[in-house]
Amino acid sequence: MGFLDRFSNKEDQNAQTLDNKVVAFINQKGGVGKTTMAFNCAHALAKRGKRVLAIDLDPQANLSLLFGFETSEQHPYHIHHLMLNSVRELKALHVPAMVQDVMVKGEVDLLPSGQELSGFELTVAGVNFPRQLILKKLLEKNGLLERYDFIVIDCPPTLGLLVVNGLCASAGVIVPFRPDEFSRKGLSHLNEVLADIDDMGVVAAPKILAHIPNLVDIRRKQEEQDLALIAADVGAKNVMDPFFNRAQLVKSQAARKSVYDFQAKEFLGLQKQFNDMAELIDNWNVQ
Ligand SMILES: Nc1ncnc2c1ncn2[C@@H]1O[C@H](COP(=O)(O)OP(=O)(O)OP(=O)(O)O)[C@@H](O)[C@H]1O
Ligand SMILES: [Mg+2]
C-alpha cells in the first residue's frame, strides 16, 4: 500500500483512528432495549477481561441510573458539559470539569448523562465546528480510544444531532428492535441516516454489526412474520438470536445489576446471549 493510499480509503481511515472499538446501540424507536443491551453487553465485554467505557448519550439518563449514578450537587457535571467543554467557540459555557472528574469508575467505567443534554442540539446550533463530530473529538482529545478496549454508547430514541454524534464517533452499531410492522420503516430510515453520514465524506458511517430482535413473543404469529420480513431485508446472518420477554432482565435492572451478578440458573440463558454479543464485538475488533 502506497503512502497516499493510506488516506484514500475512508474505511481504512476509520479503522486507523477508531480501531473497531466504539459501538453504539441505536434505534430511533423508544423502549426496544438499547439501554438494557448496552448495559449488559458492556459487562459481558468486561467479563472477557476488556477495559470498557460506557457512554450515556441519552438525556433520560437511564443507563446512568443502571450504574447507580444521578446528578447531584456533588456531581453536577456529565457528558453534556464535557462535550461543550471540547468546543472552543463555546468558551462562555465551559465548566470547570475534566473527563476524570465526570467519570464514574467501576468494573465498567461510565461517562454519565443528565437532563441538560436535552439542550445540546440548541446549544451547539450556532457553532462553526462540525457539530456532528463533537463526541468524536472528545474521545480523541482525551485519549479515551487508547485507554479502553471498547467504548459502548447508549443512544436516545431519536435520529437527531446527539445520535449523529454517537454514530460519527462509532465504528460499529448494534440495533435492538421489536419485530412489528413499524420496525421495517424505522430500520430503513436508519440506513438512510448512515448513508447520509457517508455522503458527508468526513467520516465513514459505522458498520451495522447486528440487529437484535427483543421482547419477542413467540406465541404471536404476526411477530414471526414481521421478523422473517426484517431478516429478509437486512440479511438473516445479521440478525442475532431473539431476546424473549424475560422477568430476569426486569429484576436485574431493578437491582441496578447486570445479569452476571446473579448465580441462579434462570440467568444462564441471558448470560449466554450477552456473551455471544460480546464475542461478536470482540471478533469484529480484530478483523
Ligand atoms: N428482553 C426483555 N425482557 C423483559 N424486559 C425487557 C427486555 N428488554 C428490555 N426490557 C425492559 O423494557 C424497558 C425498555 O428497555 P430499554 O430502556 O432498554 O429500552 P430503550 O430502547 O433504551 O428505551 P429508550 O428508547 O426509552 O431509551 C425497560 O424497562 C427494560 O427493563
Ligand atoms: Mg434507553
Task: State the Cα–Cα distance between residues 191 and 274, nearest whole angstrom.
Answer: 25
For residue 99, the model assigns a pLDDT of: 98
The bound ligand whose nearest atom lies closest to the alpha carbon of 214 is 1
Tell me how far the alpha carbon of residue 28 lies from the centroid of ligand 2, in angstroms. Answer: 10
Query: Side by side, which strands form the sheet with 172-177?
Result: 109-111, 52-56, 150-154, 22-25, 172-177, 207-213
How far CA 151 is from CA of 56, 71, 158, 159, 196, in Å, comes to: 11, 22, 20, 20, 23
Residues of the chain falling short of pLDDT 50: 1-17
The residue to mutate among 26, 29, 36, 175, having the most atoms of ligand 1 within 8 angstroms of its beta carbon, is 36
For residue 181, the model assigns a pLDDT of: 76
State which amino acid sits at residue 126: G
| For ligand 1, atom 10: residue with the closest CA | 33
Tell me how far the alpha carbon of residue 250 lies from the centroid of ligand 1, in angstroms. Answer: 8
Q: Is the pTM of this model over 0.85?
A: yes
| Residues framing ligand 1 (Cβ under 6 A) | 30-36, 58, 60, 62, 157, 214-215, 243, 245-246, 249-250, 253
For residue 18, the model assigns a pLDDT of: 52
The bound ligand whose nearest atom lies closest to the alpha carbon of 177 is 1
Q: Which residues, at least 6 apart from 206, have a Cβ–Cβ distance to it below 8 Å?
A: 22, 24, 167, 170, 171, 172, 173, 194
For residue 8, the model assigns a pLDDT of: 41
Domains parsed from the chain with CATH numbers: 16-285 (3.40.50.300)
Q: Which residues, at least 6 apart from 113, have a Cβ–Cβ distance to it below 8 Å?
A: 56, 57, 58, 59, 60, 61, 63, 64, 78, 79, 80
CB atoms within 10 A of CB 19: 13
* 177, β-bridge pairs: 213
Tell me how far the alpha carbon of residue 36 lies from the centroid of ligand 1, in angstroms. Answer: 6
Tell me how far the alpha carbon of residue 186 lies from the centroid of ligand 1, in angstroms. Answer: 17
For residue 146, the model assigns a pLDDT of: 94
The bound ligand whose nearest atom lies closest to the alpha carbon of 37 is 1
Tell me how far the alpha carbon of residue 3 lies from the centroid of ligand 2, in angstroms. Answer: 43
Which tens digits make up the pLDDT trace of 116-137?
A: 999 999 999 999 999 999 999 9
For residue 257, the model assigns a pLDDT of: 98
Report which of 79, 57, 65 is spatially closest to residue 159, judged by C-alpha positions.
57
